[in-house]
Amino acid sequence: MTTLNVRVAAVEQVTELVKHFTLVQQNGQPLPRFSGGSHVVVSMNINGRNHRNPYSLMGSPDNTESYHISVRRQEQSRGGSVYMHDQVTVGSELQITYPVNLFAISKLAHKHILVAGGIGITPFMSQIADLNRLGQHYELHYAYRSPEHGAFVEQLREMCGDRLHCYVESEGQRMSFQQLLSQQPLGTHVYTCGPDAMVKTLLLTARDMGWPESHLHSEQFSAPPIGDAFVISLAQSGIDLEVPGDMSMLEAMEEAGLEPPFLCRGGACGRCELEVLACDGALMHNDHYLSDAEKTAGNKIMPCVSRASCQKLVLNI
Amino acid sequence: MNTPAFKHETFRDDYSFSNSAEAIRRFPFPFPEDDYMYSVNIEQHEPGAPGSVLEHLIDIDEHYLAECEDRRLTLEQDPDRCIITPHMIDAQWDMVELVMESLAADYPQWFSLSKNGDDWHWINTPMGIDQQFRFGDASTLPMPPFEFITRQVQGDWIIMDQRDDDLFADMGMVTSQADWSIAFDAGMSFKEWHGPVPQANEIGVFDRALKYLLHLQYGSPVRRLNWTMTVNPRLDTSPENYPFWGPDNVSVTPENVGDKVYLRVELQALFRLPRSNAIAFSVRGYLISLNELVTYPRWGKRLHRILKGLHPDLSEYKGLDHYRQTVIDWLAPMDDGADLGLGTQPE
Ligand code: HEM
Ligand code: FES
């Protein structure tokens, strides 16, 4: 997997919980161009263990001098975001992957409705730069908890003008998906990123209202949840590995020196999919990639975020 | 490779095309073993051995000027060989960047690119082009950016938009195709344009290939080889012009076969494009006459075995049925049956 070595050029505390990092190449070269909605995976060495988290690029794709990511502090997580907040400062060196886009704007849409919740605003910021440049017709609907949590609102107002609509929960402002999605012109696409409940409700509402699947776009990265330890048995190589409670299967394989494929590490892209040959317990799917039917069938699993509650899981790798 | 002189030659009318000894040696012979069947033969497009066709991302060889001239002639007769849809504007500029940057980096003796912010200066010495323009501003080029750059590079280019978990052929410069048409395939999806291919879908080739391509990463291009055969060194074997080349298929005789029949290998490379998130598919064709090919006996023997064992559906699809037996009969006396081992090397 192609990677870039970057240095942190600036850190900004945006809200109480959100920090914004500016990254430049260590060798001083311009960074690769990218398309709005892309993300990179950041590697961090935490206590000798390699953690990798996906973050959306939120700068303008026209800017090849620096990349911009924002990290929301998640106390109950396995430490990646806390590490970014507490250990990463100006001058820190990090390794990131080349940008990957799993949340691209549709080039054939006549209108784009962007719906963000909380830190889910980040991928829209690079998308908006593209939409502005291409002169596209769009609206941004941005919901957050309270005025203090409205990250980047000023910047967004500058970028979007009156196409920005804010919904401040603490002030009782709520978005009505039903209303938002009715009476949109033919050829409108809707994009959503944010808390799980919001994304699910919006997609359900749209489907109920008869929106075609191809006009619905969402991006959600799961963090690998903490669970019980279990053993994976890699059928092709004959290796058995213990997956500790605070590691994903993907990380356990990497820790053992293997290089299984991945792109997003958040259960969104499908690149890491593995075939399950046997399991003496239950699979615990945490991804957004497999269909419900595939999850029930139980012969595929996404090792970047999913686990099993079992003694031994046999994988075809 | 050493700087080749660009040859004056034609791919139509008097067909004066031929390969130098050096070009024969570096020919991308596609058969590592005695059997052939479709497979997901995709590998990383990493630089190969110096002098080989894989040395650089985009290969420029002794046929460069002649191929660009043949493209110009084809476009003059039929401008629809270059299809550009309006939503591919970012992809047009991605292509300008990809081709100019790699040619200038890999062949500084012929191409140069200097940049001052978005003000770019491109010099293509062999073609005598010296162009200043503003990157992103199509009005500063004499024609659409995609057409401008693909007139200056060998091989066909098809650019696919990625949407709805599929790829759509929404832009293309196609003047040297093996009997398919961009005007016909434009806007089609991956499975749709592969519809005519026999056998491959049944063995899951297209499902797996599409899944792989949807995840193709910027900075990690991939490649594969495809092959067919053709009578006369003609680049433009398009369905539109079938009347001009189709009859050649029945003109092969035991006397002229070595001269008239060509193996045609396509080095196909796939690049994720950064700004558009589109995928560029380049089809770089290499032609070699059977007379040239058998200057390396190992290749002659291998081709003999491939053609003898070729699945009849593939033979028909590739259009070989009229002359395959004549080729086999011509190659047979040169094949002593020796074990050739694995690999595509000439010797
Ligand atoms: C994404 C870019 C690609 C494009 C635009 C493309 C396009 C085409 C076209 C136009 C044809 C001719 C179909 C016809 O007869 O009308 C073809 C043939 C074929 N393609 Fe692709 N293709 C692509 C990628 C691939 C990949 C990744 C594979 C990998 C397995 C593949 C496998 C084949 C095969 C096996 C044939 C039959 C070739 C022959 O026997 O001569 N293609 N392709
Ligand atoms: S790496 Fe993307 S789903 Fe696992």
Distance from the Cα of A139 to chain B's closest Cα (Å) equals: 20
Residue B139 has, within 13 A of its CA and on its CB side, a CA count of 0
Residues A242 and A299 in one domain: yes
Summarize the confidence of residues A136-154 as an average pLDDT: 95
**Contact between B218 and A100 using a beta-carbon 8 Å cutoff:** yes
Domain-located, residue A71: yes
Evaluate if residue B2 carries a pLDDT over 60. Answer: no
Residues A119 and A165 in one domain: yes
Sign of the alpha-carbon torsion through A241, A247, A249, A253: negative
Residues whose beta carbon lies within 6 Å of some atom of ligand 2: A 262-265, 267-272, 287, 289, 302, 304
For the record, the structure tokens of B65 come out as 């000027």
Q: How far apart are CA B191 and CA A281, in angstroms?
A: 38
**Contact between A34 and B218 using a beta-carbon 8 Å cutoff:** yes
Quote the pLDDT of residue B75: 96
Domain-located, residue B339: no
Residues A207 and A294 in one domain: no
Amino acid at B132: Q
Provide the domain limits for residue A96: 3-101
B90 vs A contacts (CB less than 8 Å): 35, 134
Ligand 2 centroid from CA B101, angstroms: 32
Evaluate if residue B153 carries a pLDDT over 80. Answer: yes
- Least CB-CB distance to B274: which of A35, A269, A270? A35
Last residue of a domain, one of A218, A250, A272: A218
Closest residue in A to B277 (Cα) is A35
Quote the pLDDT of residue A263: 85
Quote the pLDDT of residue B20: 96
- Which 8-state DSSP code applies to residue A61? T
What 3-state DSSP class applies to B133?
Answer: strand
For the record, the structure tokens of B132 come out as 């200043």
Q: How far apart are CA B27 and CA B303, in angstroms?
A: 14
- Least CB-CB distance to A107: which of B97, B161, B218? B161
Backbone φ, ψ for residue A254 (5° rounding): -65, -40
Nearest ligand 2 atom to alpha carbon A263: 1
Quote the pLDDT of residue A37: 97
User: What's the per-residue H, E or C state across B11-47?
Assistant: CCCCCCCCCCHHHHHCCCCCCCCCCCCCCCCCEECCC
Catalytic machinery residues of B = 224
Q: What is the pLDDT of residues A28-59, one digit of tens each?
A: 999 999 999 999 999 998 888 888 899 999 99
Quote the pLDDT of residue A11: 97
| Residue B337 CB neighbours (<10 A) | 8
Distance from the Cα of A243 to chain B's closest Cα (Å) equals: 27
A160, A129 Cβ separation under 8 angstroms: no
Last residue of a domain, one of A218, A241, A268: A218
Quote the pLDDT of residue A286: 92
Question: Candidates B36, B193, B216: which one to mutate for ligand 1, based on the most atoms within 8 Å of Cβ?
Answer: B193
Task: Confirm or reject contact between A41 and chain B (CB < 8 A).
Answer: no
B85, B92, B159, B215: best mutation site toward chain A, by most A Cβ within 10 Å?
Answer: B215
Domain-located, residue A124: yes
Domain-located, residue A246: yes
> In CATH, what number is assigned to the domain containing residue A274?
3.10.20.30
Domain-located, residue A225: no
| Residue A279 CB neighbours (<10 A) | 20
Give the number of domains in chain B.
1
Residue A284 has, within 13 A of its CA and on its CB side, a CA count of 16
Task: Confirm or reject contact between B92 and chain A (CB < 8 A).
Answer: no
A266, A220 Cβ separation under 8 angstroms: yes
Quote the pLDDT of residue B3: 53
> In CATH, what number is assigned to the domain containing residue A44?
2.40.30.10
| Angstrom distances, CA of residue A286 to CA of A163, A246, A265 | 34, 15, 11
What percent of chain B has a predicted confidence (pLDDT) above 90?
81
Domain-located, residue B342: no
Ligand 2 centroid from CA A305, angstroms: 8
Evaluate if residue B44 carries a pLDDT over 60. Answer: yes
Task: Confirm or reject contact between B44 and chain A (CB < 8 A).
Answer: no
Amino acid at A41: V
B154: region left, alpha or beta (phi > 0 left; psi from -120 to 50 alpha): beta
Distance from the Cα of A134 to chain B's closest Cα (Å) equals: 9
Report the first-to-last Cα separation within chain A, whole angstroms. 18
Domain-located, residue A223: no
A32 vs B contacts (CB less than 8 Å): 218-219, 274
What percent of chain B has a predicted confidence (pLDDT) above 70?
99
Ligand 1 centroid from CA B211, angstroms: 14
Nearest ligand 2 atom to alpha carbon A250: 4
A230, A153 Cβ separation under 8 angstroms: no
Residues A77 and A160 in one domain: no
Evaluate if residue B4 carries a pLDDT over 70. Answer: no
Domain-located, residue B178: yes
**Contact between A101 and B275 using a beta-carbon 8 Å cutoff:** no
- Least CB-CB distance to B219: which of A98, A104, A214? A98
Evaluate if residue B1 carries a pLDDT over 60. Answer: no
Summarize the confidence of residues A275-283 as an average pLDDT: 95
| Residue A78 CB neighbours (<10 A) | 21
B164 vs A contacts (CB less than 8 Å): 214
Provide the domain limits for residue B34: 21-334
Q: How far apart are CA A121 and CA A142, in angstroms?
A: 7
| Angstrom distances, CA of residue A110 to CA of A75, A186, B57, B132 | 41, 8, 36, 34
Last residue of a domain, one of A49, A66, A101: A101
Give the number of domains in chain A.
3
**Contact between B220 and A104 using a beta-carbon 8 Å cutoff:** no
Highest mean pLDDT among A79-83, A206-210, A263-267, B208-212: A206-210
Q: What is the pLDDT of residues B280-336, one digit of tens each?
A: 999 999 999 999 999 999 999 999 999 999 999 999 999 999 999 999 999 999 999
Quote the pLDDT of residue A48: 82
Q: How far apart are CA A193 and CA A122, in angstroms?
A: 9
For the record, the structure tokens of A233 come out as 């048995």
A131, A191 Cβ separation under 8 angstroms: no
Domain-located, residue A51: yes
B166 vs A contacts (CB less than 8 Å): none
Domain-located, residue B269: yes
Domain-located, residue A224: no
The reported pTM is 0.90
Domain-located, residue B205: yes
In 3D space, the residue among B273, B234, B288 whose CA is nearest the CA of residue B101 turns out to be B273
Q: How far apart are CA B130 and CA A308, in angstroms?
A: 62
Closest residue in A to B93 (Cα) is A33
B274 vs A contacts (CB less than 8 Å): 32-35, 99
Question: What ipTM score was computed for the predicted complex, to two decimals?
Answer: 0.86
